[in-house]
Amino acid sequence: MNALANPEVGKFVNEHFSSSFQKVATFKIVGNAKQGGNVATYFCAPDGRVLHTIAGPVDAAAFLVEAKWVVETTRKAMKEAGSDGGKFKAYFRTAHAQRLRDEFGLTVDAVTFDPPEAQDEKDALTYRDPSGQPLAPRLPPPPLNGPDVSLAKKELDRRQLNAANSPGAGGVADAKGRRWVLPNQGKVHQILAGHAMVKIERVYGTVFENILGEKISTKPVEVDRPFSWVEKDGNRRVAK
Amino acid sequence: MNHFGRGLAVVVATGLCLGGLAAGEPPKVPTGKEPTCGEYGTSVHFEDSPADAARQAKKGEKLVMVLHVSGHFEDPRFT
């Protein structure tokens, strides 16, 4: 699973990306065992807007496929859109919707227009969360329309089997309530069909909490019993 | 993105550096105990922060890759 230690991955990433990492969630130490712990990889434009994501650990081959797809798609989008940022965004979101269709047989409408955003805290468009300010919002994914009707049943079954065999596969409902299988990368494409080219600070909560099921946190490592001589209730442990 | 063309220059420059090594002193062999500064045991070079990575990306006409981790970054299961 150690994709980043692979020399081929390193060569490609170092050639096309400047990289960094952040710790965004905690993990728990219970006794001597570690509970939780995960990783999400974001491929962004230099201004921090997310082009693509890999949710969870993957092997070197899968990592390279995704990294190369980002570079290729960026190249094509730049050629297609020129200096038009709106066209570039629409191109990327449509590309995510297309990958969802090609790999897992499910369709989603790419969101190619974003409504105006709030300018500041007092703006009439600002949403005020009654529970306080969350660390990062959870963005709603665009709804799944259902299967690609141009596919024969055999082909749709093959793509759904591919989904079922991919990491993080789980059930999702489409707009009509029918159930389908979608793995982590399928969920990434679904979300980015509506939210690609959004700043990383607005997307990471959705990826970490909705897809990976990890709670984002600013807390350091949680230790279940940091002091072996103190019980959980705070009383000193008595030797038996 | 002109960095694809720039890549050629990097390859040539790397070749020159390696050529210099071959002609001069032998390269230092890592002992395994030294810190792998900036790479954390991977093949990827990491900048100190996403802001630094963004600055480098802009300068080098590259994209940015940011890893978000919970747990030990050095744990190979998560990288």
State the CB neighbour count (10 A cutoff) for residue B71. Answer: 21
Is residue A138 within 8 A of residue A205, CB to CB? The reply is yes
Chain-chain contact of B67 with A19 (C-beta, under 8 angstroms): yes
DSSP secondary structure string, A3-62?
A: GGG-HHHHHHHHHHEEEEEEEEE--EEETTEEE--EEEEEEE-TTSBEEEEEES---HHH
How many whole angstroms separate alpha carbon A159 and alpha carbon A165? 10
pLDDT digits (tens, 9 = 90+) for A27-80: 655 555 555 578 899 999 999 999 999 999 899 999 999 999 999 999 999 999
pLDDT digits (tens, 9 = 90+) for B41-60: 788 999 988 899 999 999 99
Contacts of B67 in chain A (CB under 8 A): 19-22, 39-42
Query: What is the complex's ipTM, to 2 decimals?
Result: 0.81
Examine the pLDDT at A228 and tell me if it is beyond 90: no
What pLDDT, on a 0 to 100 scale, did the predictor assign at position A143?
Answer: 92
**Reported confidence tier of residue A215, pLDDT bands at 50, 70, 90:** confident
Q: Which residues contact A133 (CB under 8 A, 6 or more apart)?
A: none
How many whole angstroms separate alpha carbon B10 and alpha carbon A34? 42
Q: Which long-range contacts link A124-129 to residues 24+ away (Cβ below 8 Å)?
A: none
What pLDDT, on a 0 to 100 scale, did the predictor assign at position A216?
Answer: 73
Question: For residue A35, which phi and psi values (nearest 5 degrees)?
Answer: -115, 135
Contacts of B8 in chain A (CB under 8 A): none
Q: Which residue of B has its CA nearest to A13?
A: B44
Judge if pTM exceeds 0.90.
Answer: no
Strand partners, A23: B69
Q: Which residue of B has its CA nearest to A207?
A: B68
Q: Which residue of B has its CA nearest to A63?
A: B79
Lowest mean pLDDT: which of A2-16, A39-53, A225-239? A225-239
Nearest CA-CA distance, residue B9 and chain A, Å: 12
Of A9, A17, A20, the CB nearest to B62: A17
**Reported confidence tier of residue A100, pLDDT bands at 50, 70, 90:** very high
What pLDDT, on a 0 to 100 scale, did the predictor assign at position A235?
Answer: 74
How many whole angstroms separate alpha carbon A75 and alpha carbon A70? 8
Measure the CA angle with vertex B34, ends B31 and B40; round to 5°: 115
How many whole angstroms separate alpha carbon A208 and alpha carbon A2? 20
Examine the pLDDT at A225 and tell me if it is beyond 80: no
What pLDDT, on a 0 to 100 scale, did the predictor assign at position A1?
Answer: 44
How many whole angstroms separate alpha carbon A182 and alpha carbon A190? 10
- Could you tell me if A92 lies within 8 Å of chain B, comparing CB atoms? no
Examine the pLDDT at B34 and tell me if it is beyond 50: no
Examine the pLDDT at A106 and tell me if it is beyond 70: yes
Chain-chain contact of B50 with A22 (C-beta, under 8 angstroms): yes
What pLDDT, on a 0 to 100 scale, did the predictor assign at position A19?
Answer: 94
State the CB neighbour count (10 A cutoff) for residue B63. Answer: 24
Q: Which residues contact A67 (CB under 8 A, 6 or more apart)?
A: A9, A12, A13, A16, A17, A43, B65
**% of chain B beyond a pLDDT of 70:** 41
What pLDDT, on a 0 to 100 scale, did the predictor assign at position A202?
Answer: 87
**Reported confidence tier of residue B74, pLDDT bands at 50, 70, 90:** low
Better pLDDT: A235 or A225: A235
**Reported confidence tier of residue B20, pLDDT bands at 50, 70, 90:** very low
